[in-house]
Structure 1
Amino acid sequence: MESVNAGDDAGLGEAQRRHWEATYATHPGLYGGQPSVAAVDAAAKFAEHGVRSVLELGAGHGRDALFFARSDFDVHASDFSPVSLAQLAAEAVRQGVADKVTTVEHDARHPLPFTAGSFDAVYAHMLLCMALSTQQIHSLVHEVRRILRPGGIFVYTVRHTGDAHYGRGITHGDDIYEHGGFAVHFFSRTLVDDLADGWILRGVHPFAEGDLPRRLWRVTQTTPER
């Protein structure tokens, strides 16, 4: 297993941004047009909670964001890749849901560009387990809580330490391992519980995705009602 300098968070993050940009440019619609299983489950929870507005973090080319829009949610779709967001916006027009989707170019390592209480729900499919340090993940979840309304719902998915790729490939420290150019921060259950501090943790559900398959948790938590 190859090891690299774990202290260069900014350098790793920028390298990952370039890698994702190139990947989306080379493979438009990389993950296809069908929503993920996580998004289908999240949409049902959003409907139960009376959600109208959803922020998706790490929306990519939009398979889940567009599904939320087709499900009649008002969606803000954020990503650090302008290439993927252009694909998302074009597809929103093609599907007739452009009025339901707003794209926002944003790097999750920085504060969210929204005022407090802006959204009913936040959704992130594998965004939190990208090349983010534990400190950056905590900062991001703090920001998510800030921009959610009281009683708002946060659904996120992450690859965890039971995944076949955990502990393999290029190690960047902080439980971050790189395979095929993609760096992943594998979550322990302790990290999930730490991120739920000050929230109401509604559930941690294991599931699998893809051919490996990837082993993930779907985490649901809500902000306290005032």
Structure 2
Amino acid sequence: MNEPLARAQREHWERTYANHPGMYGERPSESAEHAAAVFPPGGAVLELGAGHGRDALYFARQGFTVTAADFSPVGLEQLAARAAAEGLAVSTVAQDVREPLPLPDGSVDAVYAHMLFCMALSTAELEALVREVRRVLRPGGVLVYTVRHTGDAHYGTGTGHGDDIWEHGGFAVHFFSRELVDRLAEGWGPAEIEAFEEGDLPRRLWRVTQRRVD
């Protein structure tokens, strides 16, 4: 991601979370419910792009040990307050996913990212991020991520930033092709890809599940 776009997106999300606390509601996403069913029971989960925490809190309620990462301090403050109110042990970390993840090698059982991969990250940045995810996962660990894809109604509309990144309504999205999914799955077990829809447009997404096999 180019620096001006990265800075603008960070500021946009900070304003969004500040002006609309709990904007995604209290209920976990459908994808979090799916992920909880395939993650090792009671394992350590890293959520990337946790936002204000509806899915991270759900994982904690299901008995997982949760580390929630996001580049928005405002979102993380909302998450931490809700976790404290419920007595849930969720640790938070402010993290730009373009930087190395602040976790040791092989330290988590699962990584979850709901629409984080389709933020305004370049293909090269996504490849580096997936390498980091692989590094922090234990052998046999599971990655579940969701992305908007090139069949979405917003693909090709708004302001184009190259690399299939399109900005619409202030939100920049990297729309995934099947080729990109396959590229990010190289060196992993076979990727399981499920199509689903979410929101009012509706947004068209893929849910991708893949395992570290070595």
TM-score interval (norm. to shorter): over 0.9
Distance (whole Å) between structure 1 residues aligned to residue 43 and residue 157 of structure 2:
41
**Alignment partner for residue 69 of structure 1, among 54, 60, 63?**
60
- 1:54-203 aligned at under 5 Å gives the runs 54-97=45-88, 100-203=89-192
Normalized against structure 2, the TM-score is what?
0.98
Match of 2:22 in 1: 29
What residue ranges of structure 2 are gaps of 5+ in the alignment? none
The question of whether the paired residues in 2 share the 8 Å contact of 1:51 and 1:120 is answered with no
Shift of 1:170: 0.5
Contact 1:169 1:179 in 2 (8 A): yes
Q: What secondary structure sits across from 2:182 in the alignment?
A: helix
For 2:34, the equivalent position in structure 1 comes to 41
1:135 maps to a residue whose letter is A
Q: TM-score, normalised by structure 1?
A: 0.93
Distance 2:78 2:141 in 1: 29
Q: Would you say how many aligned residue pairs link Structure 1 and Structure 2?
A: 214
**Runs (4+) off by over 4 Å:** none
Q: Counterpart of 1:22 in structure 2: which amino acid?
A: R
Native 8 Å contact 1:121 1:153 kept in 2: yes
Question: Partner amino acid for 1:71?
Answer: Q
Structure 1 unaligned residues grouped into runs of 5+: 1-7
Give the aligned residue type for 1:140: L
- Contact 2:185–2:191 (Cα < 8 Å) also in 1: no
Shift of 1:109: 1.1
Q: CA deviation at 1:178?
A: 0.4
Q: What's the C-alpha RMSD, in Å, of the aligned pairs?
A: 0.9
1:42-94: CA deviation from partner (whole Å, max 9, x where unpaired)? 00111xx3451000000000000000000010000000000000000000011
Describe the shift of the 1:128–1:222 C-alpha distance in structure 2 as closer, same or farther (beyond 3 A). same
Secondary structure, counterpart of 1:108 in structure 2: coil
2:152 & 2:139 partners in 1: Cα distance?
34
Separation of aligned partners in 1, 2:32 and 2:109: 16
- 3-state SS of 2:190 partner: strand
